[in-house]
Amino acid sequence: MEQNSNMSQVVIDTINTIFSNLFKSIDNNLFKVLDDLTFINSNILNDKYFGKIFGTTSTNGILLIANALLIGYILYYSTKYLSSNFTFSKIEKPTQFIFKLIIYGIAMNSSFFIIGQILDINSYISSAIRSIGEDLFKQNICFSRLIESINSNLKIAENLNVFSVDGLIKGTTTISLVNLVTIYALRYVTIKILVLISPFAILSLSMENTSMFFKLWLRNLLSMLFIQIIVSIVLLILFSVDYNSNDLMVKFIYVGGIYSLIRANSFVKEFMMGAGISTNVQGNIGLVKGR
């Protein structure tokens, strides 16, 4: 009987050791990546290959295709204008069309710079929110610092027992944060895709029947960027909690904070009328879409 009890204890200790090492590895490596994926600015556009794909001038990369499409717009309008003389259909005045094409053509070829400024403005806003917490709490407001503070004060990583409430909380939050990394990695890639198609989105404003594409593109871009501001606010709230207390409620507040970070995408989707990354708490990830 005693031998069976010792064997069971060995198995439990082994399981606890495995999970403890796993959680420590995630804590030490994953959260810095999460910070880099979440808090972005125009630096994500500085990749030399990304710049070449987008186009360094109007004669290469995506910009070359967009400028070719601009010529296609001119040919389409010319054909439509000539046919209107026979069909007597209403059509936009040539001077108005040319003016719009010049303005949007310049904006299209400057889209790399414009998007970079939008990313920086969004980064400044989120940084300003986090700087409030840095002044109040005298520490960096980020994921890596948050997990250090929680682990050191709540002591849920020391002598971890996965079969206890603390172990359950630690396991739940760690898995949720791994899910969070996946979600924000998808957001990171989505923003880069939206940047790449920005010349086409801007050019679509040249004609009324294609302008809807720009509205969908802009709504999705803003929703992706707005998530960064929501995350900054949630982190500010999480850092305001007194984790020195060993109260169970404090631990569940932490779990609630992580849950709210996962659900931030859903909040933004509703706020932006359906634009954003569709996710649920189990981590199923949908496509970027807009109604």
Give the pair of three-digit tokens for residue 212. 């809807």
- Count of the separate structural domains present in the chain: 1
4-24 mean pLDDT: 73
Between these two residues, 31 and 187, which has the higher pLDDT value? 187
3-state percent breakdown (helix, strand, coil) of the chain, nearest 5:
80, 5, 20
Quick check: is 89 in a domain? no
Percent of the residues in the chain that have a pLDDT greater than 70, as a whole number: 82
Helix axes 211-239, 248-271, angle to 10 degrees: 170
Residue at 4 is within a domain: no
In a domain, 134, yes or no: yes
Residue 125's pLDDT band, with cuts at 50, 70 and 90, is very high
- How many Cβ atoms are within 10 Å of 84's Cβ, its own excluded? 13
> The domain containing residue 126 runs over which residues?
18-55+111-289
What pTM does this model have?
A: 0.81
Is 231 part of any domain?
Answer: yes
The residue type at 70: L
In a domain, 71, yes or no: no
The pLDDT, as a whole number, for residue 280 is 46
